[in-house]
Structure 1
Amino acid sequence: MTTISIIGSGKMGAAIAEVADRAGAGVQIVKRSATSPSAARPGFEYGVLGDELTGDLVVLAVPSVAYPSILEHYRDQLSKKVVIDISNPIDFSTYDELKSPADSSTAAELAKLLPEGSSVVKAFNVNLGDTLASGTNGTTPTTVLFAGDYADAKIAVTSLIEAAGMRAVDVGPLTRARELEAMGFLQIIMAALGKTSYETGFTLLK
């Protein structure tokens, strides 16, 4: 059975925990501290930052600016893990630009910091949390776009998504994470302006 560790207990972390639960995966949620707000749910394992990661897949459900502090605790443990980057590095003070390098992405920069043997997959960043928790986007199953360089890691992420009743679409190598982050940025801005709903969002129609 697939196991997944989710670092972060906010809305997106909770939504991905729902995805994993629907897929029949074991779920560990790692909070920043014992006092971090989150509703405990039966069947999930809870821990705090610094506890051992038990998942085969590790989701970083925290802002990308927190990645260096996360790696202080877990860099060695992430060796041979599939690390899922869900971030959209938006300048939330202006809602006007991405903060990732112009020729790169948060996912690509994260990959440079991880130990040999770990695999980064960019996924879930183009999805709003409500569409992951429900598994639907409007009247259609939620589509999850993802990118990565390693076939085994992509297979693991695809299996998780599809077992949760959603559609998985591989958009290519990790270099495509830049475009995914731009899509995530646009979708969040549109929802914030009321142009779209937080319960819907971008999707692909067959």
Structure 2
Amino acid sequence: MSSISIIGLGSMARALGGLALKGGNTVEVIGRDVAKAAELARELGSGATTGTLGAVPAGDIVILAVSYSGSAQIVSQYGNALAGKVIVDITNPFAPGFTGLVSPDGSSATQEIAEVAPADAPVVKAFNTLFATVLTAGPADGRPLDVFIAGDDARAKAAVSAFAESIGLRPFDAGPLDMARRLEEAGLLMMGLGRHGVQHYDFSLGVTILH
């Protein structure tokens, strides 16, 4: 199984942390608010620990469960403390009102993070098309929840895929890192569907293999 460090204390951190522990992984929770981080670790249960923001994370996989606006800055502040880690970006750089993306044209939140990450810390996009409530509830009618993964490092994507499988998800390789922009656009599509066509957020995007 995997050793996971989660930077962030929100709903996605809680959902992924809980699933990670159930899947037999170790979980380190890291946040600016030390007391809240300790509280989340206690709520997650046995196997969850807390780390210090800026120190070398304990996990081999570091999940950025923070807002887009602060994600690249956090990675830059960590600097070489992230060397040798697999960094997983789950952010969606939505414009106000979900009218578009605020990441630069031709780029993505994930590529911005990769630009400031250590050279030996591959960055992978994943989990951005899954709502925290859906992750917590789990699959319905026996259909798996799919997670789409983009990145340039095959070993990093394999590590994230193995982690995804350990928490009951079905990973799909979406291609190289520049596909992260397309995954962020898929996240935007989901918000549009939730607000208009589906009219709630208890759904997920998935792949149906016909043959």
Give me the TM-score of the superposition, normalised by structure 1.
0.91
* Match among 172, 175, 184 for residue 175 of structure 2: 172
Q: Which residue of 2 aligns with 1:88?
A: 92
Counterpart of 1:32, as a letter, is: R
Distance in structure 2 (CA, Å) of the matches to 1:22 and 1:176: 30
- What is the RMSD computed on CA atoms of the aligned residues? 1.9
As a proportion of its length, which structure holds more helix?
2
Note if contact 1:19-1:135 (Cα within 8 Å) is conserved in structure 2.
no
Aligned residues: 205
SS of the residue aligned with 1:171? strand
SS at 1:116 equivalent: coil
**2:4–2:59: 8 Å Cα contact kept in structure 1?**
yes
Matched, 1:107 2:110: yes
Q: Which runs of 4 or more aligned residues in structure 1 lie more than 4 Å from their structure 2 counterparts after TM superposition?
A: none
Distance 1:23 1:142 in 2: 15
Q: Deviation at 1:196? A: 4.3
The aligned counterpart of 1:45 is 49
Match of 2:147 in 1: 144
Letter in 1 for 2:51: G
SS in structure 2 of the partner of residue 121 of structure 1: strand
Matches of 2:152 and 2:181, distance apart in 1:
14
Contact (CA 8 Å) 2:72, 2:112: kept in 1 or not?
A: no
How far is 1:77 from its partner? 1.2
Unpaired stretches in structure 2, ≥5 consecutive residues: none
Does the alignment pair 1:21 with 2:24? no
Which residue does the alignment assign to 2:30? Answer: 30
List alignment gaps of at least 5 residues for structure 1.
Answer: none
Aligned to 1:75: 79
Q: Percent identity?
A: 35
Q: Distance in 1 between matches of 2:165 and 2:204?
A: 19
CA positional deviation for 1:192: 3.7
